[in-house]
Amino acid sequence: MKLGMLTACLPGLSLDSIAAWASGAGYEALEVACWPTTGGRGFEASHLPVATFGKEDAERTRTLFADHGLDLSALAYYENHLHPDPDRRREIHGHLLKVIDAAALLGVEHVGTFIGRDWTRSVGENLRDAEPIFRDLVEYAGERDVRLIIENCVMEGWHPDGYPGNLAYSPELWEWMFGLGLYLNWDPSHLTWIGIDPVSTIAPYADKIVHAQAKDIQITPGAINRYGIFGKAVERSDPWDVGWWRYRVPGRGQVDWVAVVDALYEHGFTGTLSVEHEDPVWGGDEQRVKQGLAIAHQTLRPLVIG
């Protein structure tokens, strides 16, 4: 197992700068953000020019990682492949193909993304719509020796009422997507707030967990009694403000990282555990983000034996 980090938390820095810092901070791998532009939710970044990526870019990137002793664990483009706007949906699919092509040039095995959801249609309708879309995407990736990995984030902010906006949040849905040839980029933080014990999901799906993200979650005692599990309904100006929990860096929330890492080891996980930093306490500027990443490293380094 290697300890890595997702680069999206540092959108203003170049990949060269991030690689130098991450290596110096003790990280072993990078999950590289590949959105078309920096921005979006605030946790999106463009660290590889995949739209124009060629063999020279790939060689330069491989040299950069080799010079800093880093692995490139995955390329990351987490977007809504079932977006209700057909033009936007086509844009998203087209960009994912470019990310896959870049991964193939780099020899990177994994590309991370979401399933997504058309929030105007039922879950059943969405699953039926998704099946031909993802079979084609999986086939395209497979022809290039790339596997698509799906993060189990709920993405409640994508739904106008705060309901799941990414239909990959539960083991029931994982089993459906595994049937399409997709794999799992497993994250315990999302499971925690929807009432699923993260550790209990590792053993049954160990052969499909090929990459993992390390994000923690802090639950405010008693706050759920006002809002319920779905969060704020009347006063929700920020679609991501549920009102009773928030993301934290590992070590500052309620995920049992000793149990998580131990279970991953027990069930044969040999991939990358990649820190995904979306902690508002350790955010706001480059220095604080790096401090947050240092806290995450301090928490996980004693547990992850390379």
Residues 6+ apart with CB under 8 A from 99: 34, 50, 75, 77, 111
pLDDT digits (tens, 9 = 90+) for 92-148: 999 999 999 999 999 999 999 999 999 999 999 999 999 999 999 999 999 999 999
Q: What is the mean pLDDT of the chain?
A: 96
Q: What kind of fold does domain 2-300 have according to CATH?
A: TIM Barrel (3.20.20)
pLDDT digits (tens, 9 = 90+) for 226-263: 999 999 999 899 999 999 999 999 999 999 999 999 99
- The dihedral through the CA atoms of 278, 282, 284, 288 has a sign that is negative
Residues 6+ apart with CB under 8 A from 268: 206
- What does the domain layout of the chain look like in residue ranges? 2-300
Amino acid letter, 232: K
Given a cut of 70, whether residue 150 has pLDDT beyond it is yes
Q: What is the pLDDT of residue 43?
A: 80
What whole-number percentage of the chain has pLDDT above 90?
96
Kindly state the average pLDDT of the residues 166-187: 98
Q: pTM score, two decimals?
A: 0.96
Measured in degrees and rounded to the nearest 5, phi and psi for residue 186 equal -80, 130
C-beta atoms surrounding 222 within 10 Å: 8
Q: Which residue spans within 7-85 are E strands per DSSP?
A: 29-39, 44-46, 71-76
